[in-house]
Structure 1
Amino acid sequence: MISGDLRKMQATVEGVKNVAYKMRIGENLVPLNDHIGKKVSLSFSGAIHCIHCGKTSKKSFSQGFCFPCFKKLAACDSCIMSPEKCHFHKGTCREPEWAEVHCMQGHYVYLANSSALKVGITRGDQLPTRWLDQGATQARPIFHVANRRLSGLVETLFKEVVADKTNWRNMLKGLDIEFDMYREQERLIELVYEGLDSLQTEFGIEAIEDLSDKNETHEFHYPVLEYPTKITSINAEKTPLVEGTLMGIKGQYWILDTGVINIRKYTGYEAKLAIQE
Structure 2
Amino acid sequence: MPNEWSGQIAKMHVSVDGDNNAQYQLPVGDSQVNMNALIGHEIAVQYSGEINCIHCNRKTKKSFSQGYCYVCLTRLARCDSCIIKPEKCHYEQGTCREPKWGEENCLQDHFVYLANTGQIKIGITRHVSKGVSSRWIDQGASQAMAIFRVKERLLSGLVEIEIAKHIGDKTNWRTMLKGQPDTLDLVTMQEKVHILIQKPLQAIQDKYGLQAVQALEPKPVEINYPVNHYPVKIKSINLDKEPIFEATLLGIKGQYLLLDEDRVINMRKYSGYSLSLQA
Return the TM-score normalized by structure 2. Answer: 0.96
How many angstroms apart in 1 are the aligned matches of 2:101 and 2:246?
Answer: 39
Encode CA deviations 1:223-256: one digit per residue, 9 max, x unaligned: 0001011111111100001320101000000000
2:201 aligns with one of 188, 196, 199: 196
User: What letter matches 1:104 in structure 2?
Assistant: L
1:142 aligns with 2:147: yes
Equivalent residue, structure 2, for 1:184: 189
Equivalent residue, structure 1, for 2:17: 14
2:268 aligns with one of 256, 259, 264: 264
1:119 aligns with 2:122: yes
Equivalent residue, structure 2, for 1:155: 160
Unaligned 5+ runs, structure 1: none
Deviation at 1:124, TM superposition (A): 2.8
Equivalent residue, structure 2, for 1:252: 255
User: What letter matches 1:78 in structure 2?
Assistant: S
Deviation at 1:11, TM superposition (A): 1.1
How many angstroms apart in 1 are the aligned matches of 2:25 and 2:125?
Answer: 22
How many angstroms apart in 2 are the aligned matches of 1:123 and 1:242?
Answer: 36
Deviation at 1:16, TM superposition (A): 1.9
What is the aligned length?
A: 273
| SS of corresponding position for 1:190 | helix
Deviation at 1:175, TM superposition (A): 4.8
Encode CA deviations 1:199-224: one digit per residue, 9 max, x unaligned: 1111111000110xx24101111000
1:167 aligns with 2:165: no
2:104 aligns with one of 101, 104, 107: 101
How many angstroms apart in 2 are the aligned matches of 1:147 and 1:28?
Answer: 35
The percentage of counterpart residues that share the same residue type is: 48
Encode CA deviations 1:113-160: one digit per residue, 9 max, x unaligned: 111100000113675201000000000000000100110000000110
RMSD of aligned alpha carbons: 1.1
Q: Which runs of 4+ in 1 moved over 3 A?
A: none
Deviation at 1:34, TM superposition (A): 1.9
Unaligned 5+ runs, structure 2: none
| SS of corresponding position for 2:278 | strand
1:46 aligns with 2:52: no
